[in-house]
Amino acid sequence: MTIEVRNLVKTFGSFKALDGVDLKVDSGELVALLGPSGSGKTTLLRIVAGLDWPDAGEVLINGEDALAQGARERHVGFVFQHYALFRHMTVFENVAFGLRVQPRVVRKDEAAIRARVKELLDLVQLDWLSDRYPSQLSGGQRQRIALARALAIEPRILLLDEPFGALDAKVRKELRKWLRSLHHEINVTSIFVTHDQEEALEVANRVVVMDKGRIEQIGSPDDVYESPASAFVHGFIGESIELPVRVEGGVIRLGGRPLALAADGLAPGASRLFVRRHDMLVGPPGSGAFEGIVHHVRNFGPVQRAEVALSDGKTIEIDAPRDKELRAGDTIGLEPRRYRIFAG
Amino acid sequence: MSAIAARRRTLPGFGLTMGLTLSWLSVMILIPLAGLFLKSLELSPEQFWNILSSRRTLNALRVSFGLAFAAACINLVMGSIIVWALVRYRFPGRRLFDAIVDVPFALPTAVAGVALTALFAEKGWLGAPLAALGIKVAFTPVGIFVAMIFIGIPFVVRTVQPVLQDLDPEIEEAAGSLGANRWQTITRVILPSLAPALLTGLALAFARAVGEYGSVIFIAGNLPNVSEIAPLLIVIRLSEFRYADATAIAVVMLVVSFVVILAVNRLQRWAQSRVPAR
Per the CB < 8 A criterion, the answer to whether A27 and A2 are in contact is yes
pLDDT of residue B5: 53
Per the CB < 8 A criterion, the answer to whether A72 and B179 are in contact is yes
* pLDDT at B1 exceeding the cut of 60: no
- Across the interface, which of B177, B274, B276 has its CB nearest the CB of A76? B177
pLDDT of residue B38: 86
Q: State the Cα–Cα distance between residues B61 and B57, nearest whole angstrom.
A: 6
Residue of B167, B178, B182 for testing the chain A interface, max A β-carbons within 10 Å = B178
Q: State the Cα–Cα distance between residues A174 and A179, nearest whole angstrom.
A: 9
Q: State the Cα–Cα distance between residues A293 and B222, nearest whole angstrom.
A: 97
Tell me which H or E stretch contains A283.
strand A280-283
> What are the chain A neighbours of B180 within 8 Å (beta carbons)?
72, 97-98, 101
Burial of B10: CB neighbours in 10 Å, binned 0-12, 13-18, 19+: exposed
Q: Give which of A39, A1, A2 is closest to A21, Cα–Cα.
A: A39
pLDDT of residue B7: 59
Provide the residue ranges of all domains of chain A, joining segments of one domain with +.
Answer: 3-233, 242-343
pLDDT of residue B10: 75
CB proximity list for B123: less than 8 A, separation 6 or greater:
none
Of all residues in chain A, the one with the smallest CA distance to B277 is: A135
Q: State the Cα–Cα distance between residues A153 and A161, nearest whole angstrom.
A: 18
Of all residues in chain A, the one with the smallest CA distance to B196 is: A88
Q: Give which of A153, A178, A152 is closest to A164, Cα–Cα.
A: A178
Give the tens place of pLDDT for each residue, A52-90.
999 999 999 999 999 999 888 899 999 998 999 998 899
| Mean pLDDT for back-to-back runs of 10 residues, chain A (344 residues) | 93 91 93 92 94 93 90 91 91 94 89 93 90 91 93 92 86 88 90 91 93 93 91 89 86 82 81 90 85 88 88 86 85 89 84
Q: State the Cα–Cα distance between residues B275 and A250, nearest whole angstrom.
A: 69
Give the tens place of pLDDT for each residue, B171-227.
999 999 999 999 999 999 999 989 889 988 998 999 999 988 888 988 888 888 888
How far A131 CA lies from chain B's nearest CA (Å)? Answer: 12
How far A172 CA lies from chain B's nearest CA (Å)? Answer: 21
Give the tens place of pLDDT for each residue, B49-70.
988 889 999 999 999 999 999 9
Is the CB of B178 less than 8 angstroms away from the CB of A76? no
Chain centre distance of CA A102: 34
Homologous superfamily, domain A3-233: P-loop containing nucleotide triphosphate hydrolases (3.40.50.300)
Residue of B171, B177, B183 for testing the chain A interface, max A β-carbons within 10 Å = B177
Q: What percent of chain A has pLDDT over 70?
A: 100
Bridging pattern class, strands A257-259 and A251-254: antiparallel
The β-bridge partners of A77 are A158
For residues B123-150, give the mean pLDDT: 88
Q: What is the mean pLDDT of chain B?
A: 88
> What are the chain B neighbours of A80 within 8 Å (beta carbons)?
170, 173-174
Q: Give which of A147, A13, A168 is closest to A79, Cα–Cα.
A: A147
CATH number assigned to the domain covering A242-343: 2.40.50.140
- Across the interface, which of B170, B177, B277 has its CB nearest the CB of A71? B177
- Across the interface, which of B181, B274, B275 has its CB nearest the CB of A72? B181
Q: Is B206 helix (H, G, I), strand (E, B) or coil?
A: helix
Q: State the Cα–Cα distance between residues A146 and A79, nearest whole angstrom.
A: 6
Q: State the Cα–Cα distance between residues B78 and B84, nearest whole angstrom.
A: 10
pLDDT of residue B138: 82
* Most distant pair of Cα atoms in chain B: their distance: 76
For the segment(s) B43-274, the CATH number from 3.10.450.50, 1.10.3720.10, 3.40.50.450, 3.40.190.10 is 1.10.3720.10
Q: What percent of chain B has pLDDT over 90?
A: 44
How far B35 CA lies from chain A's nearest CA (Å)? Answer: 44
> What are the chain B neighbours of A86 within 8 Å (beta carbons)?
171, 174-175, 189, 192-193
**How many A×B Cβ pairs under 8 Å?**
78
Q: B276 to each of A92, A134, A149, B269, B272, how far by Cα in Å?
A: 16, 9, 20, 10, 6
How far A174 CA lies from chain B's nearest CA (Å)? Answer: 24
> What are the chain B neighbours of A132 within 8 Å (beta carbons)?
none
**Residue bearing the bigger pLDDT, A31 or B6:** A31
How far B24 CA lies from chain A's nearest CA (Å)? Answer: 36
pTM equals: 0.80
Chain centre distance of CA A61: 22
Q: What is the 3-state secondary structure (H, E, C) of A56-119?
A: EEEEEECCEEHHHCCHHHHCEEEECCCCCCCCCCCHHHHHHHHHHCCCCCCCCCHHHHHHHHHH
Residue of A72, A90, A102 for testing the chain B interface, max B β-carbons within 10 Å = A72
Bridging pattern class, strands A76-79 and A157-161: parallel
Bridging pattern class, strands A269-276 and A257-259: unpaired
How far B173 CA lies from chain A's nearest CA (Å)? Answer: 7
Interface confidence, given as ipTM, is: 0.83
Q: A75 to each of A339, B62, B238, how far by Cα in Å?
A: 45, 54, 70
